[in-house]
Structure 1
Amino acid sequence: MKTYLRSSGFIISQTFRASPRRTVITIALSLVMSAIPAMQVLAIAALVNSLKGAHAMGDVIVPLLWVVLIVGFTGPVRVACATIRLMAMTRAAAAMQTRLAHRVARMRPSELVKPATTTAIEKHNRAISEQVSYQFESLVAGVLEQTLAVVGVIIALFAFSKLAGLLVLLALVPTMVSAKILGGVQTRMWESLGTLFGRERYLRDLLVREKTATELSGLGTGERVADMVRSTWTDVVAARDKLSKAVLGMDWAIGAITTVLLVGAMGAVVVDMHYGPAAVAGVYGVMAAMASVGGAAGSIGVSVQNSPQCEGLRVFFADSGKQKRGEQVIVPTAERLAGANMQHRYPGAAVDTLRDVSVEARRGEIIALVGVNGAGKTTTVNALLGLTELSGGTVSIDGQTQAELSEDVWLGYFGLLTQEFGRYEMTIREVVCLGTPRTGITDEEVWAALESARAADLVRKFPLGLDTQLGEQWGGLGVSGGQWQRLALARIYLRDPAIWVLDEPTSAIDAEAEQDIFRELARTRHNRITIVVSHRAWTLKGMDRIYVIDGGRVVQRGRYEELMAEPGRFSEIFAEQLDGGVSRRPPVDQALGVAATSR
């Protein structure tokens, strides 16, 4: 009961915050509606009594008018109440979805990578749309209105027969028991639905997102993904059928019990009214009372069933207050980044992914991490960023470890460009400004970032410049992978943190533009630490230090010339590229010449 009351208060407060005026009007109209069944019983009883000795219309006109007014205005009042209530609920759903989005945005990256977190987010998202926002209707139009109506009708019914009133009251009991049982069934259903809905959304996105949709269409396998969507929905239907079958069984049981109580209540009224005409009003009162009891019981049952989802959402929102992230502030300089003896093993793995990995970089240096796929480069990067929990070793910035700093402060030191960079289908200004939490960014700053990323000339050709919408599915421009990558790099330039981590930053860019980008990285290197992950031999020339990672260990370290001159994993990895002529590209030591000669 405590959980039910707490979750009910949460829903009413959320609706009031979203639409206070409509919430108050809805509650007021529901109070009016709750009095109507009792007023109908009393009005009909008065009309029946007035008919006993009536000889003309004037003898019955007053009670007749009361019946007409009550019946006539019930419909419009009910429609008005339902319409205003729906408006309030729509605003509440929008507000809760917005709050959910902000709650997710404040979550730490280490939380977001957990499967349980994504399942919970999807569960809450669907629950708001399908259940939580409608809980207000169950509480106000059902529990409040119908319960008060039951009370009013039973009080009116007691004037005819006390036994009938008690029998009607007993009809609430089986429904309350049923609601408790079904609430548990529904909670278990939503635990499984969270995972299923998450998978369904992922598969559906594959069919509509430009990159994956194009690939699937070209491969002719889009229908196969659609079949996976169908299979997932089959599982959703099966999970929901369990609840539907339970509801159906409970309803038949409740219907049988209610029918017995109805017969008893009607018989009690007829007997207590001595089989007189006034018993008609009493019988109508029993019917109205049973209808109100059925409505109240049904609404209470629905609200009790929905209560666990509402409580889960309330707790999810409440946790955001306890674990609220601080505002991230970009840190512009750092003297030294050091990872010492880092170790990590993924759950279920037989061996460590990282084994005593140590890397170091100082301000003004550009270092590189190289290795074949699966060697441990990405895990090393994530460990430096603090996104991977270490089982051994430390990472420090200027002597301070992540444990000594908050996650927000730590991440404020970094700018990350991953190989799977975000392709945000927004305006170009919005795309670039996503690089920093700072507000009030000027167009001059955006253009400067685009210039550094060698994307400014491209944007100047677009019809609306910085206001150009990207993404054909939104009616915007379609751009190439290389153009997307330049915009992603522009975000890092705008962010301009102390430590840049660039994972294949020019993988989708042509050779000439790649030289320009590396030349610009070299020119502006002095105030930052730069870490580059690369598979291209020519990009490694001129690097201050190269760490060769293999099997989760650093097996070699040194400059390009040193590593190529000695037998080892580095020369093995890049021998094929060099033999294939990749090294005939303009050497990076020319692109990085500014830095190479200034050290």
Structure 2
Amino acid sequence: MAEPTSPKAQRESIRRLFAHARRTLAMVGEVDARLLSLLIAAQILDALSLVGMAWVGKQIIDAIVTAARDPARPVRAALFWVGVELAVVVARSLVAQLQTWAQIVLRSKLGLHVNTLILEKAAHVSYARFEDPEFMNAMAQARREASSRPLDLVNQALALLRHGITLVGYAGLVLSLGAWAVLIIIATALPPFFAEARHGRKTFAMQRARTMRNRRLFYLEAVLTTEQTVKEVKLFGLARWLRERYRDIHLGFHREEVTIAGSHARWAFGLGLLASLALYGAYATIAVRTVLGAITLGSMALYLTVLRDGQRTLQSALGAIARAYEDDLFMTNLFDFLGVPDDEPEGDDSFALEELASGPPRIELRDVTFRYPGSDRDALKNIDLVIEPGETLALVGRNGAGKTTLIKLLVGLYRPSTGQVLVDGLDVATMSAAELRRRIGVIFQDFARFQFSARDNVGVGWLPAREDEAAVGQAVADAGAGEIVTRLPQGLDTPLGRAFGGDDLSGGQWQRIALARAFMRKSRILVLDEPTAAMDAEAEHEIFQRFRDLKANRTALLITHRFSTVRMADRIVVFEGGRIVEQGTHADLLATDGRYARMFKLQAAGYLD
């Protein structure tokens, strides 16, 4: 990301900063307006107390000097001002503790709010976006520090309020010394600000450029540390090779950070030296005027304090602007991500079991062509296909032939590039995601292994019946998973998977749980994509016998490479290169002696040899 060096770009950055600061303040106010008001009040009180303490310090010194010169004068005045300063210090301490408490509470509530917004956005965009690297990068950038940056930006805005009030008060205190004193405060604070602002821009640009490499880094960590991949890492001896790739990325990060840190150190030292020379020149002037009797010792202490603290306060104010700019760069990522158009409403599973009463649907694909985003070839080409109500259709072909792509179009995960997908004469493109998916029960070959209880793993297939013991039990029985559940220590309430200390299952057992999830949804269309790939032949035969019994009043689509299963279908469609090359019954296709017959004979020969 280029630094905004042109005047127009700088004006745009300032405009965006103020706009995002207002939006972020509104977000924080929405989360907890009372805590935000408390923080604002605390900043104002803190600023006034700083100015007050500087002035009270002058009164204490002048009272002491007066009492020392005239023993007849009591020290009561000095003690009074000491008491006033003590009261201010105690009040500041109380306000600081209230601020700390409010910050902790608000940070927690705001973190939940922002992360919920991100998760809601993820739920309202289409599946296709999750296969778009640019979208995934945008989401990764939004999620990075999402729980802290909004409050950080608000804190910078509140710090500017506090510093602004303090500086106005300090300016009033030193104006009697001359306007040059105010200019010294400004002149000594600007150089460090320029150094920090430059560093903030370069740091953000570096982090933004790292997004893809960061994702690779996290992926390598996962490959080296998660159960799904660590077996092959050990068996193939990949650990050292993967660590080297991980180390190479980290070393690249290290080199970038060293370069930026070195540049920042040089700029900060040079500009800081200029600021120090100006400040100590002012100190010398004040010291000379005090010696000449032009100002009192109390005034000298006041001016020195205000010049020193004024410089620090203005530096802090400018630093807050620089940090606010950096925070705003991250908030830009967040707001840009939240601004991605919702192209898919969140699903609603509150439909009735009577959905089946309308009977199995008719499915039709009319001249459907589909190309994946970013691809230069069609995954499906000119597909015309009708699936009659109640029919079981098997899709066969090589991997990558287009079978799963067709399923994704049918269930609405993708929209055709051209052509139509119709269910009961209704174009899927005109239906809401919830309306379409309530009609469909599906299990993909890469099904989810939710690290939830067995009940939840099945029940999420139809959330309204998740607590319905009879419905969950029936789905488990339909999938032939009853024995699996019976053997679990806590039955359906047993946590599954090792992520949180639950019971892990074999691949075939997980597949039965996923089947139960698909059967849980009393839908009119049943889609099974390699539903028995992890099962032995006997278990597969049992499942498909159950499937034949359960498919009444449903239209079914089946993808499998096992021809013992395929032949149970009413009709078989053969895909090759994204096109339909054959279709018919098992007997018809064998008689044709085409592509299907060759695949069948090859598999049969493997069993006969």
| TM-score where L is the length of structure 2 | 0.87
Counterpart of 1:8 in structure 2 is 21
Contact 2:107 2:147 in 1 (8 A): no
**2:572 partner SS:** strand
- Pick aligned residue for 2:115 from 97, 108, 121: 97
Counterpart of 1:359 in structure 2 is 385
Letter in 2 for 1:150: L
Contact 1:10 1:314 in 2 (8 A): no
- Pick aligned residue for 1:29 from 35, 42, 48: 42
Counterpart of 2:538 in structure 1 is 512
1:163 pairs with 2:163: no
Deviation at residue 38 of structure 1 after TM alignment: 0.9
Deviation at residue 76 of structure 1 after TM alignment: 5.5
Report the aligned-residue RMSD: 2.9
C-alpha separation in 1, matches of 2:450 and 2:417:
35
Deviation at residue 433 of structure 1 after TM alignment: 2.1
Letter in 1 for 2:137: T
Deviation at residue 559 of structure 1 after TM alignment: 0.7
Deviation at residue 109 of structure 1 after TM alignment: 0.8
Deviation at residue 287 of structure 1 after TM alignment: 0.9
Contact 1:546 1:560 in 2 (8 A): yes
Counterpart of 1:302 in structure 2 is 323
User: What is the 5 A alignment of 1:288-299?
Assistant: 288-299=309-320
Deviation at residue 381 of structure 1 after TM alignment: 2.3
1:396-433 deviation line (CA, Å, top 9, x unaligned): 11222233223443333333211111111111111112
C-alpha separation in 1, matches of 2:59 and 2:454:
73
- Pick aligned residue for 2:338 from 314, 317, 334: 317
- Pick aligned residue for 1:538 from 553, 564, 569: 564
Counterpart of 1:81 in structure 2 is 99
1:118 pairs with 2:139: no
Q: Which stretch has the larger CA shift, 42-51 or 253-262? A: 253-262
**2:505 partner SS:** coil
Letter in 2 for 1:316: F
Counterpart of 1:342 in structure 2 is 368
**Number of paired residues?**
581
Over 3 Å counting, the alpha-carbon distance change for 1:582 and 1:438 in structure 2 is: farther
Contact 1:161 1:268 in 2 (8 A): no
Over 3 Å counting, the alpha-carbon distance change for 1:565 and 1:8 in structure 2 is: same
C-alpha separation in 2, matches of 1:41 and 1:582:
98
User: What is the 5 A alignment of 1:376-395?
Assistant: 376-395=402-421
Contact 1:123 1:195 in 2 (8 A): no
C-alpha separation in 1, matches of 2:443 and 2:104:
45
Aligned identity (percent) is 24
Letter in 1 for 2:319: G
C-alpha separation in 2, matches of 1:23 and 1:343:
54
Contact 2:523 2:554 in 1 (8 A): yes
1:278-330 deviation line (CA, Å, top 9, x unaligned): 2232111111111211222212211112112113313433546x556154356
1:463 pairs with 2:476: no
Letter in 1 for 2:134: A
Over 3 Å counting, the alpha-carbon distance change for 1:390 and 1:318 in structure 2 is: closer
1:44 pairs with 2:70: no
| TM-score where L is the length of structure 1 | 0.88
Counterpart of 1:328 in structure 2 is 348
Counterpart of 1:529 in structure 2 is 555
C-alpha separation in 2, matches of 1:361 and 1:49:
98
Over 3 Å counting, the alpha-carbon distance change for 1:379 and 1:10 in structure 2 is: same
Contact 1:132 1:310 in 2 (8 A): yes
Counterpart of 1:500 in structure 2 is 526
Contact 1:123 1:190 in 2 (8 A): no
Over 3 Å counting, the alpha-carbon distance change for 1:404 and 1:460 in structure 2 is: same
**1:548 partner SS:** strand
**2:528 partner SS:** strand
C-alpha separation in 1, matches of 2:441 and 2:607:
33
Deviation at residue 544 of structure 1 after TM alignment: 0.9
C-alpha separation in 1, matches of 2:20 and 2:261:
23
- Contiguous gaps of at least 5 residues in structure 2: 1-13
**1:53 partner SS:** helix
Deviation at residue 60 of structure 1 after TM alignment: 1.6
- Pick aligned residue for 1:209 from 197, 214, 226: 226
C-alpha separation in 2, matches of 1:342 and 1:268:
85
Q: Which stretch has the larger CA shift, 303-312 or 329-338? A: 329-338
Contact 2:189 2:311 in 1 (8 A): no
Counterpart of 1:419 in structure 2 is 445
1:149-177 deviation line (CA, Å, top 9, x unaligned): 22222222224333212331355555665
Letter in 1 for 2:567: K
**1:291 partner SS:** helix
Over 3 Å counting, the alpha-carbon distance change for 1:349 and 1:11 in structure 2 is: closer
**1:556 partner SS:** strand
User: What is the 5 A alignment of 1:454-493?
Assistant: 454-493=480-519
Letter in 2 for 1:564: L
- Pick aligned residue for 2:457 from 419, 431, 445: 431
1:338-360 deviation line (CA, Å, top 9, x unaligned): 12232234466554332222322
Deviation at residue 253 of structure 1 after TM alignment: 4.9
C-alpha separation in 1, matches of 2:255 and 2:58:
50
Over 3 Å counting, the alpha-carbon distance change for 1:66 and 1:314 in structure 2 is: same
C-alpha separation in 2, matches of 1:313 and 1:349:
28
1:578 pairs with 2:604: yes
**1:393 partner SS:** strand
- Contiguous gaps of at least 5 residues in structure 1: 584-599
1:361-414 deviation line (CA, Å, top 9, x unaligned): 122111011111222222232233343443333221122223322344333333
C-alpha separation in 1, matches of 2:133 and 2:563:
37
Counterpart of 2:246 in structure 1 is 229
**1:454 partner SS:** coil
